[in-house]
Amino acid sequence: MLEEKGKTLTTAQGAPVGDNQNSLSAGNLGPVLIQDVHLLEKLAHFNRERVPERVVHAKGFGAHGYFKVTNDVSRYTKADFLSEVGKETPMFARFSTVAGEAGSADTLRDPRGFALKFYTDEGNFDMVGNNTPVFFIRDAIKFPDFIHTQKRDPKTHRKNADAVWDFWSLSPESLHQVTVLMSDRGIPATFRNMHGYGSHTYMWVNENNEQFWIKYHFRTNQGIKNLSAELAEQLAGENPDCHGQDLYNAIEAGDFPSWTLSVQVIPFEEGLNYKTNIFDVTRTVSQKDYPLIEVGQMVLNRNPENYFAEVEQATFSPGNFVPGIQASPDKLLQGRLFGYGDAHRHRVGTNSAILPINSPKSGANTYQRDGAMRSDSNGGSSVYYEPNSFNGPKEEPAAKQVGHEITGQIGNYSYDDDFYSQPGDLYRLLPVDEQQNLVDNIVANMSGVTQEAIKIRQLKHFYKADPSYGERIAKGLGIDIEKIKE
């Protein structure tokens, strides 16, 4: 807002600034003086305005909102924020692409991040998911290699189709996610027109400590809409921030986007004996076997006031659980439980949790002290160790994680290797026009691959999922179909 007479400009130390247009110099033509400490402070602070961008999901936009419970799920979880119909919890969401840098286009073919922070009365619960129900790999040990192939080639500093398809063709567990990514859903029309998924199986625990396996589905109430590859390319040039703009404008106009959260609930023992491994994040669990159970509505109704403070400094972690929600043994998830906190300590700092966007609205009582940028009272003069005789915060046994028995010999195990059934089913399920788009998108994408051996290796996977899937792509790439049959 324009003001007639504003406040006095000060240095960061609060002293009034005499001149913010002309630096201090020795006479009109003389050199600039080092005693212009305001100039030094201004240039030095400017040099430090950036924190490292997220190593993945660097480009994103966020919004505030709330979650409201619409269905009683208290028989499955003791999570306080889900405890009664009508209960509302404030939340913050960030949507993103994965591979591009912070300035990249919103309309690239890439999964979309779907990161949510619920400020519950028992601490923060984060749901850090994507707009796809599955993922490319299923063991965290492969994540750095996978992401290297999605980023820039060290020599050319350009994206490298050989690396992308070499890795995928040597990691056939990626086939399901590659099929989703190359389908029409690979480029959502807006952030508002996509679903969100927890992707992994998680665990819920109820008041009686009964355990259930859970899969989260956030279904868009705006309906699914996607972009054709052509329109996406055009928008990438014309308006690379179009998805951020769309989200911002909708919220400013009072057209608040919302999603319905439903869960698949899989009883503990059944989950362990299910026909596919429910801890393998490259697989889905059939909704015929475990139908969606509604939980509530998420509504985004407020734009951030300041992008850096609220979006760039936001830190989400799949390890931010509250009592009643726990991890499953999914090996990719287990790696993520380490990865995010570590990324936050590096990217934002060891005290990132005390920043307003990240701090729990229910308060935090820890014995953590000191560290860079400790901007709260640092515990003041209160007791700084535990156990203590001075009435400091104590553990709450009811909040203990509920365990289950694990047996087995230590070793490097791989989940089973049926890489083809679910991608094949997905291909066969698509309407004819969407099947054609899928094939066309893959052909366009693989055309950048220079090594025929890589193309053939990947085509064999498509062929195994469904012979027509492989044959149509091979035809599009001009590869002899006989070469892809084994």
- Reduced to 3 states (helix: H, G, I; strand: E, B; else coil), residue 337 is helix
Cβ closer to ligand HEM: 150 or 378?
Answer: 150
- Minimum distance from CB of 187 to ligand HEM (Å)? 17
Helix (H), strand (E), coil (C) string for 93-106: EEEEECCCCCCCCC
Cβ closer to ligand HEM: 216 or 420?
Answer: 216
First to last CA, the chain: 69
- Minimum distance from CB of 162 to ligand HEM (Å)? 23
Cis omega (within 30 of 0) for bond into 387: yes
CA contacts within 13 A on the Cβ side of 309: 6
- Minimum distance from CB of 46 to ligand HEM (Å)? 23
- Minimum distance from CB of 326 to ligand HEM (Å)? 17
Which H or E run contains 237? helix 229-238
- Token output for 74: 């208290």
* DSSP 8-state code for residue 31: P
- Minimum distance from CB of 6 to ligand HEM (Å)? 35
Q: Which of 67, 95, 100, 97 is nearest to 82 (CA)?
A: 67
- Minimum distance from CB of 292 to ligand HEM (Å)? 18
Catalytic residue among 124, 130, 193, 441: 130
- Token output for 306: 């300041």
Amino acid identity of 463? Y
Within 8 A by CB and 6+ apart from 362, the residues are 119, 120, 121, 122, 123
Q: Which of 244, 134, 109 is nearest to 197 (CA)?
A: 134
- Reduced to 3 states (helix: H, G, I; strand: E, B; else coil), residue 331 is helix
CA gap 270, 51 in Å, rounded: 46
- Token output for 86: 């009508």
**388-391, long-range: CB < 8 A, 24+ apart:** none
Distance of CA 176 to the CA centre of its chain: 19
Q: Is 239 among the catalytic positions?
A: no
- Minimum distance from CB of 408 to ligand HEM (Å)? 21
Cβ closer to ligand HEM: 130 or 445?
Answer: 130
- Minimum distance from CB of 151 to ligand HEM (Å)? 13
CA contacts within 13 A on the Cβ side of 478: 4
Whose CB is nearest to ligand HEM? Answer: 113
- Work out the burial of residue 286: count CB atoms within 10 Å of its CB; fewer than 13 is exposed, 13-18 middle, 19 or more buried: middle
Q: Which of 124, 126, 125, 127 is nearest to 360 (CA)?
A: 124
CA gap 264, 290 in Å, rounded: 6
- Minimum distance from CB of 264 to ligand HEM (Å)? 15
Count of other CB atoms within 10 angstroms of residue 462: 27
Residues present in the chain in total: 486
Cβ closer to ligand HEM: 140 or 456?
Answer: 140
Cβ closer to ligand HEM: 114 or 462?
Answer: 114
Cβ closer to ligand HEM: 9 or 55?
Answer: 55
Cβ closer to ligand HEM: 113 or 188?
Answer: 113
Catalytic residue among 57, 64, 200, 243: 57
The alpha-helical segments, DSSP class H, found in 348-480 are 421-429, 432-446, 452-465, 467-477
- Token output for 234: 């055009």
Count of other CB atoms within 10 angstroms of residue 19: 11
Q: Is 301 among the catalytic positions?
A: no
Cβ closer to ligand HEM: 119 or 316?
Answer: 316
Binding site residues, ligand HEM, CB under 6 A: 54-57, 60, 94, 96, 113-115, 128-130, 135, 140, 143, 199, 281, 314-316, 332, 335-336, 339-340, 343-344, 347
Cβ closer to ligand HEM: 227 or 333?
Answer: 333
CA gap 250, 303 in Å, rounded: 10
Which residues are marked as active site? 57, 130
